[in-house]
Every structure is written in C-alpha cells, then in structure tokens.
Amino acid sequence: MRSHEVDYQIFGDDLQVVEIELDPKETIVAEAGVMNWMDDGISFEAKMGDGSKPNDSILGKLIGAGKRALTGESIFMTHFTNIGSGKKRVAFAAPYPGKIIPVDLNSLGCDLICQKDSFLCAALGTELSIAFNRKLGAGFFGGEGFILQRLRGDGMAFVHAGGMVVKKELKNQKLRIDTGCIVAFTDGINYDIQKAGGLKSMFFGGEGLFLATLEGTGTVYLQSLPFSRLADRVLQYAPGIVGGSKKDEGSILGGFGNLISGD
C-alpha cells in the first residue's frame, strides 16, 4: 500500500479548516459536503468507495458502499485530483465547531479506530472501512453501537472532533470516558462499556447510565464537546428561540420579567 503524499496547513482555532496541497495527479478523498474552496485546476468526482482498491470489482464496490451505509455516512465519497500543472490547494472544514486532527498513519504504525462521524478526508490510498464491536454491552450502550470506522494506510488522514482535543498515551492502563467523548484510538486498545456506578449515580449523577473503558497500550484522542451534547443543549432551548421568544437564563423572574420589560 502506498498513499499519495500530501502537504497540508490547518487554519483557525475553534472553527478550523485544513488546506491540502496537491502535486499534479495527486488525489485527496473526502466525505461528501465538507469542501470549502479549491484552486482552478482541481477536478472532483463522487465515487463509490475510497479508491484504495482501484481494481476492485463492481460487487466489491457495492459491498463497500453497503458498509458505509451502516455507519450512517453517504455511500459516495468525493475524490479531488490535481489535473493541472503546478501545486494546487483544496480546503475542507468540519461541520461543527472543534478541532481537526492530522494523523500520519505511517508513523502510527497501526490502524486507527474512529467514531463513525469523525472522518474528514485522507490521501488517496487510505482504506476506510468499518470495525464491528463484538461485545454486546459496548454495542447496545456504547453510543456508537457495534460499528466504528477503521482507517488503514500509510498516508495522511484527518479526523475532526468537537471542542478541545486531548491526546493521551496509554501504557497498559485503563481509562473511563463518557461514551460521546471518544474520537479515535489505535488498534489494539480494548473498548468496552461499564456501569457508571450505583443506581443513584446512574440515574441522578448526570453522567449517563454507562461509561466507556479503553484499556491497553496505545494512543487515544478525546473531545471535550461531543456534537450530541451540543445538539441536546440547543434543542433544550429551541422552544424559547422559535417564534421570537427567548429563555431567561439565570433570572428568577423568568417570563414575568419579560412582561415587566415589555417583551
């Protein structure tokens, strides 16, 4: 396996964008709908698959597309290729606030297991497949179900996370994590689900009924703001936003205060 060698630059802080530099005939593969801008001379095409197996049969491509559908992603991926002369650039951004994590799979030396919606783009030659979680507990209560994404190759890949990103190196250790805060971890680390504590803590502690456990030796990427947590908070206040009204956070008067102010 030999992926295309691409250079890159990441811009921004909390709303990041990664700009990929492509030499002539180099290709970057991305999820549908994440491109921001590109130079003239770059062509793009939606294809069924990641392009890591160019000689794959139609049946093989259909099976790969079916696996992607299981993760909730589009069955098509967009391939951006520099068909001009000289270096060209194309930029991609995450669909929600957070960080973009560049991962050199060659230096990593093993596969990277990601949550199913964290993949952004990768150099052509990177294989994007699914990893089934064989443990029933992790499957039913792990937030990501039985299916995680697997990145395999020897080139650059880019994943995105919500909020701040923390990289941890485990050395035969165990880490207990909120199920939504896992972004990715290296192959060889065991992933499981355990109860969050006693019944009182499980139902009233605010941390959910279960916590994820990662155990072993390898690299773990964590995010401070899972998109599901952000979406829940937005939906919590959505009724107060729709229709022009608003909620008064921290006010003991609440709606009565709006009557006094004339709102």
Q: What is the CATH number of the domain that holds 153?
A: 3.60.160.10
Q: Is residue 148 part of a domain?
A: yes
Strand stretches in the chain, DSSP E: 7-11, 17-22, 27-30, 35-38, 42-47, 77-82, 88-93, 98-104, 112-114, 119-123, 127-132, 147-152, 156-162, 165-177, 182-186, 190-195, 210-223
**100 inside domain:** yes
User: How confident is residue 54, by pLDDT bands cut at 50, 70 and 90?
Assistant: low
Domain contains 124 = yes
Residue whose C-alpha is closest to residue 26's, from 77, 105, 89, 75: 89
Give the length of the chain. Answer: 263
Whole-structure pTM value: 0.77
Averaged confidence pLDDT in the chain: 78
In whole angstroms, give the CA distance from residue 253 to residue 239: 18
The arithmetic mean of pLDDT across residues 84-113, rounded, is 92
Q: Are 161 and 11 in contact (CB under 8 A)?
A: no
Tell whether 89 is covered by a domain: yes
Is the pLDDT confidence value at 224 over 60?
Answer: yes
- For the ranges 157-166, 203-212, 243-252, the maximum mean pLDDT occurs at 157-166
Residue 191 confidence (pLDDT) above 60: yes
Predicted confidence (pLDDT) at residue 251 exceeds the cutoff of 50: no
Least confident segment among 153-167, 202-216, 234-248: 234-248
For residues 85 and 22, what is the distance between their CA atoms, to the nearest angstrom?
A: 10
Q: Is 225 among the domain residues? A: yes
**Domain annotation covers residue 140:** yes
Residue 35 lies in a domain: yes
Count of domains in the chain?
Answer: 1
Residue 246 belongs to some domain of the structure: no
Which residues form the domain of 33? Answer: 7-230
Quick one: what percent of the chain has pLDDT higher than 70?
69
